Chains A and B, each alone.
Chain A
Amino acid sequence: MFELVLQGFWESLYMTLISTVAAYLIGLPLGLILVATDADGVSPCKPVHTSLGIFINILRSIPFLLLMITVRPITKFTMGTTIGSPATIVPLVIAAAPFIARLVESSLKEVDRGVVEAAQSMGATPREIMLKVLFPEAKPSLLVGSAIAVTTILGYSASAGIVGGGGLGAIAINYGYYRNQTEYMLPMVAILVLMVQVFQEMGMRAVRIVDKRQ
């Protein structure tokens, strides 16, 4: 059982971390675009803002399990299989990227409008404002967001176990639920709880180190 748990733990960990990184690679620029193209953004563009917003909302409104099933052709095409931990990364990224885009958007929007105005008065370009003002100023809030993102993705990855995903969730479901072996179920849940605690705490500590406002 120990080996099984260890394997599940590593699978969950890499699924979550790789998915989070990949989802940020997509979600971060999307969030930046959402903020930049907003009516009070640095380069307003209503068509882009609105259509991107709708696209993100559609993806976000599909429950993760249904999304996972829906995108199976994409998973098959990219990973060659639809089951196991590596295959779960694909739907995880697709589900998490729009979520992260919204987290990033809300973090960037917290930055004081006046600071942006000051940068504009100095002749900063929209790009410079995004990269040198909004992004660095929102860094603490972005870190808080990343802790939320990584814990949410861990949760998604666990529920992926029900449709062929790997990791702790799959073990809990296959052994704990289908075989009714509670002794498997409880440790998995405990480890998941612990992982969430650790991720969250790490995020908050990083914020305290990074944030210069206190």
Chain B
Amino acid sequence: MAETIISLRGIKKHFSTKKGTVEALKGIDLDIKKGEIFGIIGLSGAGKSTLVRCINLLERPEEGQVVVNGTDLMKLSNEGLRQNRRSIGMIFQQFHLLMQRTALENVCFPLEIAKVPQAEARKRAEELLALVGLSDRLESYPSQLSGGQKQRVAIARALATSPQVLLCDEATSALDPNTTKEVLNLLKDINRNLGITVVIITHEMRVIQEICNRVAVLDGGVIAEVDTVEKVFRAPKSKMGRQLVFHESDENREALQGPIENSYRITFEGDMTNSPILGNMMLECQAAANILAANTRMIEGKVYGQMIIQLPEDAAKREQMLQYLKNMGLTVEEVAYV
């Protein structure tokens, strides 16, 4: 695929709090390719926000290398870093617009900083606000805009200096589902039409599912796994990945009373979700299977399903059933918990 645009190596960052030192990032290696939409998902406290802030050095890691667009940001002077930040746009959960400036003036702000002549800046800001669909709200103040509109202004502002990368820190977490979808579609368009690499931090799986090409699962300051969204959704390799993909929350596990035996996760895709495989298996093998959990989801237009079933204790029957499933082309793996 395309060349790497963001390369993180051995990123470590800790914070000192009253309760002691918190290691937010414990050595992160990550490569993000040019033109992709890359998701970073994790629970709150996993270090996602810190990680994305390390990409433009809003947080400076104690150790490690941050290379964006071929430049090692850690080695830059303050002025050099400021220049470089203009090619890395960023949007935030709470939008962070200037409340005393109109939408137009907000988009002009980064251009003022980049010393773009006023008339030119205004023209560009108008174009960008048209791009995000807010041509009719140029003179509105943020307080007069809805959440989705504010985030659109923030996106226009982040794009003002024609960045190569757009960092999104929980950009849709403060928005309702419909608005989230609109903003995600806008990000998708921007990625496709302007070729901007988008990095999305989120705790919502549906955001990843909706627009990302690849995803990194962050767990306790380390990357649990990185892969295409399709692969992570089909067969998450890490515990956190499974928890996020299959909603294996702690409560669910407790409800099923801890470890389970003779249980298997079967994952299937596409047309298979339409055929009664499990029913056929039970008829064929003359034994019952207990369905512990099941769900299906749509990723990039394809249907994926997963199911956790408990098979009989009789080893021969179990083997026969597993063989049947494998013959049907399903992925089967033994699981110790739901």
- Interface residues of chain A, those whose CB is within 8 Å of chain B, are 112, 114-115, 117-125, 128, 132-133, 136-137, 139-140, 210-214
Residue pairs across A and B with Cβ atoms less than 8 A apart, 30 shown, are A112-B96, A115-B98, A117-B58, A118-B90, A119-B109, A121-B56, A121-B88, A121-B89, A122-B86, A122-B110, A122-B113, A122-B157, A122-B161, A123-B81, A123-B84, A123-B86, A123-B110, A123-B113, A123-B161, A124-B82, A125-B82, A132-B113, A133-B98, A137-B99, A212-B99, A212-B101, A213-B99, A213-B100, A213-B141, A213-B143
Q: Does B94 contact A (CB under 8 A)?
A: yes
Task: Report Cα–Cα, A122/B121, bound state, in Å.
Answer: 15
Considering the complex, which residues of chain B in the window 109-126 have a beta carbon less than 8 Å from any beta carbon of chain A? 109-110, 112-114
Q: Name the contact of B58 in the complex, choosing from A121, A125, A140, A214 (C-beta under 8 A).
A: A121
Cβ of B97 < 8 Å from any Cβ of A? yes
B85 interface residue per 8 A CB criterion: yes
* Chain B positions near chain A (C-beta within 8 angstroms): 56, 58, 81-86, 88-90, 92, 94, 96-101, 109-110, 112-114, 141, 143, 154, 157, 161, 167
Q: Which residues of A contact B56 (CB under 8 A)?
A: 121
Write out the residue numbers on chain B whose beta carbons fall within 8 Å of the beta carbon of A210: 100
Identify the 6 closest CB pairs spanning chains A and B, nearest first.
A118-B96, A123-B82, A123-B85, A121-B90, A122-B110, A212-B141
Contact A122 B96 (CB under 8 A): no
**Minimum C-beta distance from B325 to chain A (A):** 50
Bound: A139/B107 CA distance, A: 20
A210→B141 CA distance, assembly (Å): 12
Looking across the interface, which residue of chain B has its beta carbon closest to that of A111?
Answer: B99
CB distance from A128 to the nearest CB of B (A): 6
Distance (Å) between the CB of B89 and the closest chain A CB?
Answer: 8
Residues of A within 8 Å of B98, CB to CB, are: 115, 133, 136-137
Q: How far is the CB of B118 from chain A (nearest CB, A)?
A: 14
- Which B residue sits closest to A118, measured CB to CB? B96
Whole-angstrom distance between the alpha carbons of A123 and B94 in the complex? 19
Given contacts A121-B58, A123-B114, contact A136 B100 (CB under 8 A): yes
A125 to B86, CA, bound (A): 12
Partner of A128, one of B92, B101, B113: B113
* B84 contact set on A, CB distance < 8 A: 123
In the complex, chain A residues whose CB is within 8 Å of the CB of B96: 112, 114-115, 117-118
A132 to B108: give the CA distance in the assembly, Å.
12
CB neighbours (8 Å) of A122 from chain B are 85-86, 109-110, 113, 157, 161
Q: Is the CB of A136 within 8 A of B101?
A: yes
A2 to B91, alpha carbons, bound, how many Å? 63
A64 and B167 CA atoms in complex are apart in Å by: 53
Residue of B nearest to A138 (CB): B100
Q: Shortest distance in angstroms between B24's beta carbon and chain A's nearest beta carbon?
A: 16
